[in-house]
Structure 1
Amino acid sequence: MASSPPDPWAREYGEAARLADDVGAMVAVGGGGGGPEAMRHASAIRRKITILGTRLDSLEGSLSRVPPKSITDKELHKRQDMLSNLRSRAKQMASSFNMSTSANREDLLGQTKKPADDMSRVAALDSQGIVGLQRQIMKEQDEGLEKLEQTVLSTKHIALAVNEELDLHTKLIEDLDDHVDGTNSRLQRVQKKLAVLNKRAKGGCSCMSLLLSVVSIVMLVVIVWLLMKFL
């Protein structure tokens, strides 16, 4: 007994669910502190979350374009529930990741100082101390800018990764279009061959009928001649 072909929607949902598992595992592990390794880990999580959101939108669009009566209402509601649960899970993971990122933001950009704190630091200093404090503040600002630059570069890497993923999807769609066009061309050639064979088959039947008619007439003439000769 031949097995039924795989359902494209179910296959795409399975890929999205596996991607969600990967994101959940990466969020649970965390960035392992600071440094470039943590930034790369965070960038990978952001990229996967973006891709997951794109796939969920694609699944939702496919589900909304399901032809009537192609699946039962029960199956449609089941798929809608599955998609809703997976989207809720993705939102929870994204929220957890954003909270973790916000908690580490002070490590990246430095703690936010209030004006009252700055005034209290300046109040007890003389001119030389104020100059030293200004130099310290400038040094902290330079360090903050360096960390901000690293964050911008990390964001750039995320954008490049997402762009590569979109290019891959575009290429896959173009390849699918080429396959569809090739299949359509082959189908048209097969239809033309079938039409020729059908025409030839009809012509062969007509010739056979004509031949049988001629043979029958000849036999009838022979029989009539024999009857006239011997009677």
Structure 2
Amino acid sequence: MASSDTWIKEYNEAARIADDINGMISERISLPASGPETQRHASAIRRKITILGTRLDGLQSLLSRPTGKPLTDKEMNRRKDMVANLRSKANQMASAFNMSNFANRESLLGPETKQDAMSRTVGLDNSGLVEQDEGLEKLEETVMSTKHIALA
């Protein structure tokens, strides 16, 4: 019975940490966009998310090797579902937190734009491309020469 009480206490503590994280993420809206206080707050959220993950791993391991009085299959499944639900909630909070960090990055740096090879070469004229090809040929000759020296 004591191990069952331990598991319930651990689960309740993990659920409390999840609620704290949720509250901290909500509080983040009231903080300035950047600054030391915001960084400390973000660091505390990351730390709590990590602690929650560790607690959930511990709960999972307690379920996989029960001690003391054996649990019924129904109770075991209920506890596994409880851990899975809390893990899902933790993953959602971590994702929401990371997405808000991504939004902050975009506001500072602007939206990320990736150009493919074709769009980068549109601005180059044929002479520019020929010049690049000649440079690559010279580089190839240098690499081959170095390779032959190294193998000799």
TM-score (norm 1): 0.44
TM superposition shift of 1:28: 1.4
Aligned twin of 1:193 = none
Aligned twin of 2:110 = 111
- Give the structure, 1 or 2, with the largest relative contact order (CA under 8 Å, sep 6 or more): 2
1:50 and 2:50 equivalent? Answer: yes
Unaligned runs of 5+ in 2: 116-152
TM superposition shift of 1:30: 1.4
Instruction: Work out the CA distance in 2 between the residues paired with 1:66 and 1:10.
Output: 13
CA contact (8 A) 2:106 2:112 kept: no
Instruction: Work out the CA distance in 2 between the residues paired with 1:85 and 1:113.
Output: 34
User: Structure 2 counterpart of 1:29, which letter?
Assistant: E
Cα 1:105–1:74 shift into 2, 3 Å: same
Larger radius of gyration: 1
CA deviation profile, 1:29-81 (whole Å, cap 9, x unmatched): 21512211111110000000000001101110111111596111111111011
User: Structure 1 counterpart of 2:22, which letter?
Assistant: G
Aligned twin of 2:6 = 8
Aligned twin of 1:76 = 76
Aligned twin of 2:62 = 62
Q: How does 1:105-184 map to 2 (within 5 A)?
A: 105-107=105-107, 110-111=109-110
The RMSD of aligned alpha carbons is: 2.5
TM superposition shift of 1:106: 3.5
TM-score (norm 2): 0.66
Instruction: Work out the CA distance in 2 between the residues paired with 1:115 and 1:93.
Output: 28
User: Structure 2 counterpart of 1:28, which letter?
Assistant: S
User: Structure 2 counterpart of 1:50, which letter?
Assistant: T
User: Structure 2 counterpart of 1:87, which letter?
Assistant: R
Instruction: Work out the CA distance in 2 between the residues paired with 1:73 and 1:60.
Output: 15
User: Structure 1 counterpart of 2:12, which letter?
Assistant: G
Moved over 2 A (4+): 110-116
- Overall identity of the aligned pairs, in %: 56
Instruction: Work out the CA distance in 2 between the residues paired with 1:94 and 1:103.
Output: 14
Aligned twin of 1:124 = none
1:91 and 2:99 equivalent? Answer: no
Cα 1:115–1:12 shift into 2, 3 Å: closer
